[in-house]
Amino acid sequence: MIKRSIFTKSIIATCLLLGSVGCSSSDTSSEAGEDAAVVEDETVEVATDEPVEISVIIGQTSGSAVAYQATLGSKVQIKILNPDADDEFHLHGYELSAIATAGQETMIEFTADQLGSFDLESHKTGDWILTLVVEE
């Protein structure tokens, strides 16, 4: 009877110990796993499949008041046409440039991976062509 009682108590104590250790460690890792999954989902949700296509004709659809929006992670295509003169364009913040021959379209393509407002400028005239606003 004594052996059985000690054996039974040992089994119960072992089950309780393993049960409490198992519960506490699985709860902690489960919560951490859920938090990690949420953060990971937020990162993935930022990208978008729809490209932002912008077409600008210098002197007609350009100017410092012209603004376009893009979502962080989206692909952006800026098509620029200067019908009257050769030109060079620079997108500040992304440090991207494109050279255009008079009457021929040029393009700047990139992924919007920075938040903020970015100005496209003509290096020939110094004029602001447009502002791109990248938001989440």
pLDDT digits (tens), the chain, 136 positions: 444 444 444 445 444 444 444 444 444 443 444 433 333 333 233 445 689 999 999 999 999 899 999 999 999 999 999 999 999 999 999 999 999 999 999 999 999 999 999 999 999 999 999 999 999 9
DSSP at 66: -
Single-letter code of the amino acid located at 113? D
Q: pTM above the 0.75 mark? A: no
DSSP at 5: H
Query: Structure tokens of 120?
Result: 């496209």
Q: How far apart are CA 125 and CA 48, in angstroms?
A: 34
